[in-house]
Structure 1
Amino acid sequence: MTDLAPHLSAWLLEYLPRDRRASRHTIGSYAHCFQLLVGFAAQRLKVRPSGLQIEQLDAELILDFLDDLETVRANTPRTRNARLTAIKSFFRYLEYRAPTCLDVAMQVQAIPSKRIEQPLVDYLTRIELQALLDAPDRRSVLGLRDRAMLHLAYACGLRVSELTGLRLEDIGHPDLDTIHVFGKGRRERVLPLWKETQAVLRGWLNVRPDVEERTVFLNARGTAMTRHGFANRLAVHIKTASQPVPSLANKRVTPHVLRHTCAVHTLEATGDVRRVALWLGHASVTSTEIYLRIDPTEKLDILDARSAPTIKKGSFTGATDRVLATLAAANAV
């Protein structure tokens, strides 16, 4: 039997950050997954978490854990698949470092991901977006900060981690005309800013507290804004913006919806999905094709490129069906 604890610690604290150069968000997500798994396994096997053995985490227990995520914790299939990805990553690591666990590793690797639906992405109309951008109180420091965050998140199509991780040195000074973004997969991109976005960003930087923290956006305590902090501020402003634009109240607006909104509006303006992929920092255009499904202008172009088939008017002349023949005879009487 092989102790789980030392291998799990080495994977999270050494292999992922040092050898794989995984981001802190990835490591945090994987750590949370195993926090749930270890708790589930310890309760199921009635042992202390520190006493768990790798061989005890077989495919049957992993499948029960994944089912528990959906039934008890009400996780979506997408979240279930993300947890399974983390588990498979750990067992791939074990294949070369714990040969005695090769059999259980192969069993876990064979667990399939659950097929998920591909719904249309949510986004805001231009009227809804404008109401949201106008919601923060520009007479207060926090309002200027929130206004700058919202404008920057939409204008650049930033992920929430990219927005909260933006540092002062990533902004093009002195004109504030560009930002340097470190994106998912360690991909970098430089994005120009509209003059309007420059103006609201400058408004925040003029009142930003002079603290040692180098991230652009700070919370009320003067430390870096977190993902959850931005999500909470967004929810507050959505509530405010719902008063002049009631349709916002019926939408679930998350920080990522602002990124979707940027993508949809960019596609409408350019008609080029490759430009959208470049702007969002996608590694492949395949990731960007989801926006084609919700852009009606693309579908209208498809209709215009073809001619509709002609429809010939139907006729019952010469019909031999017995029911039609009976009806024809009755009509002649």
Structure 2
Amino acid sequence: MKSDEFFTLVRSWLTIYLPRSRRVSPHTIRSYKAALNTLLAYLGETRHLTLEQVGFEAITYSSVSGFLAWLMDARHLSASTANQRLAAIKSFLSYCAGEEPALVAVWLDVKRIRPARTPERAPDGLGMAAVEALIRAPGQQTAHGLRDTTLILLLFDAAARIQEVLDLTLADVSTVPGRGQVTLTGKGRKTRTVPIMDKTGRHLEQYLDLFHPGPRAPEKLFFYTIRVGRHQPMSQDNVAYLLNKHAGTAREHCPEVPGRIHAHQLRHARAMQMLRAGVPLPHIKEFLGHANISTTEIYASADNQMVREAIQKAAASAPEPAPIWKGPKDLILRLAGLK
């Protein structure tokens, strides 16, 4: 199928089917759009395809499987984020199969791809030493350094999801000392207003003076990139790239900074910091925007696990007690309830 037919279906999916037929939120549409743009970037980088050359013949089990691996290895996305990109591609192909029967085979081929495995573990929040090193890493000698410092600091201080920060407008941000706050729009278009530290407010003011000089339109995006001379939204991939670039610098001063880093680790770190400061779980739940407190309770479990690991480490140097199960074979079996 030719490139123009491919992009015709892309346009109708994004502009007609998703918003009108499915009533999908603008946030989800942006996420789907980002997935398709990233797929096009992958095909250009690894298959050397120009936009004019991209068609459904380039979308196969092999290419999309490679795309999933590339997202994690080259773009440093977490498995869960990469799986969201894969789900978006599958959703698009499902729509295409419904519009054009000849594309059913393409959809079924890609549908067989299994999502990347996501480890089942407690939230991997950064330690405070790593957080501080990461915030300091960009420096503030350049405009981009100031922007990146402000972005990282706000992600941590507001314990915000990455898209929540990228969706902020000027109207959503208040830097009044002692009353600084940001209004975040989370999942299901639910909004919550969270306080920010005065230190964060001062950084936001510096950022505003540099990146939003003159009259400030309330509806303008707080963070942005410039393409073709125009303000454009930042993508999650942009932020993932910046975080890992600065993590390399931070690691030189703080070995605790992990080899791969993602924005959610800052959110986890803030939640753990609040928990250890004695903030009740219901308050943390509201701060994080969790729908159910059982999600928030994971942090309490994670903290208990850290305590348990510390106890086990301390016990490693203690003398071993005498074996409990020692004696005649029949006696051991009876004690164990096996006879």
Does the TM-score normalized on the shorter chain lie above 0.5?
yes
Aligned equivalent of 2:194: 191
Aligned equivalent of 2:25: 21
TM-superposition CA deviations, 1:197-217 (whole Å, max 9, x none): 223323333444416773333
Query: Does residue 1:282 correspond to 2:283, yes or no?
Result: no
Indicate the percent of aligned positions where both proteins have the same amino acid: 23
Which whole-Å CA distance do the structure 1 matches of 2:231 and 2:295 have between them?
A: 33
Which whole-Å CA distance do the structure 1 matches of 2:184 and 2:307 have between them?
A: 33
Which whole-Å CA distance do the structure 1 matches of 2:276 and 2:137 have between them?
A: 25
Query: Does residue 1:148 correspond to 2:150, yes or no?
Result: yes
Alignment partner of 1:158: what SS?
coil
8 A Cα contact 1:123 1:260, kept in partner: yes
Alignment partner of 2:287: what SS?
helix
Which whole-Å CA distance do the structure 2 matches of 1:231 and 1:90 have between them?
A: 24
8 A Cα contact 1:69 1:80, kept in partner: no
Query: Does residue 1:116 correspond to 2:117, yes or no?
Result: yes
8 A Cα contact 1:16 1:22, kept in partner: no
TM-superposition CA deviations, 1:246-299 (whole Å, max 9, x none): 332x43223332222222323333475544332222334455455455323687
Measured after TM superposition, the shift of residue 181 of structure 1 is: 1.1
Aligned equivalent of 1:325: none
> Match for 1:202 among 202, 205, 210?
205
Aligned equivalent of 2:274: 266
Computed over aligned residues only, the root mean square deviation of the Cα atoms, in angstroms, reads: 4.8
Query: Does residue 1:254 correspond to 2:257, yes or no?
Result: no
Which whole-Å CA distance do the structure 1 matches of 2:136 and 2:111 have between them?
A: 51
**Aligned residue runs from structure 1 range 226-241, under 5 A:** 226-227=234-235, 228-241=237-250
* 1:5–1:281 CA distance, 2 compared to 1 (3 A): same
Query: Does residue 1:178 correspond to 2:220, yes or no?
Result: no
Which whole-Å CA distance do the structure 1 matches of 2:144 and 2:180 have between them?
A: 23
Alignment partner of 2:192: what SS?
strand
- Count of matched residue pairs: 297
Which whole-Å CA distance do the structure 1 matches of 2:284 and 2:251 have between them?
A: 28
8 A Cα contact 1:37 1:65, kept in partner: no
Aligned equivalent of 2:327: 316
Which whole-Å CA distance do the structure 2 matches of 1:247 and 1:162 have between them?
A: 27
Query: Does residue 1:244 correspond to 2:253, yes or no?
Result: yes
Measured after TM superposition, the shift of residue 16 of structure 1 is: 1.5
| Unaligned ranges ≥5, structure 1 | 40-47, 304-310, 322-333
* 1:284–1:35 CA distance, 2 compared to 1 (3 A): farther
Query: Does residue 1:215 correspond to 2:221, yes or no?
Result: yes
8 A Cα contact 2:36 2:89, kept in partner: no
8 A Cα contact 1:178 1:193, kept in partner: yes
* 1:83–1:265 CA distance, 2 compared to 1 (3 A): same
Alignment partner of 2:124: what SS?
coil
Which whole-Å CA distance do the structure 2 matches of 1:208 and 1:78 have between them?
A: 32
Alignment partner of 1:246: what SS?
coil
Output the TM-score relative to the length of structure 1.
0.64
Aligned equivalent of 1:42: none
Measured after TM superposition, the shift of residue 219 of structure 1 is: 5.3
Which whole-Å CA distance do the structure 1 matches of 2:146 and 2:213 have between them?
A: 16
Of the structure 1 ranges 274-283 and 76-85, higher mean CA displacement relative to structure 2 is found in 76-85
Measured after TM superposition, the shift of residue 226 of structure 1 is: 2.3
> Match for 1:126 among 115, 125, 128?
128
Which whole-Å CA distance do the structure 2 matches of 1:114 and 1:280 have between them?
A: 26
Measured after TM superposition, the shift of residue 11 of structure 1 is: 1.8
* 1:149–1:35 CA distance, 2 compared to 1 (3 A): closer
Instruction: Identify the structure with bigger relative contact order (alpha carbons < 8 Å, sequence gap 6+).
Output: 2
Measured after TM superposition, the shift of residue 170 of structure 1 is: 0.8
Aligned equivalent of 2:314: none
* 1:8–1:143 CA distance, 2 compared to 1 (3 A): closer
Which whole-Å CA distance do the structure 1 matches of 2:281 and 2:250 have between them?
A: 30
Of the structure 1 ranges 64-73 and 265-274, higher mean CA displacement relative to structure 2 is found in 64-73
* 1:171–1:111 CA distance, 2 compared to 1 (3 A): same
* 1:144–1:287 CA distance, 2 compared to 1 (3 A): same
Which whole-Å CA distance do the structure 2 matches of 1:91 and 1:73 have between them?
A: 19
> Match for 1:89 among 91, 101, 113?
91
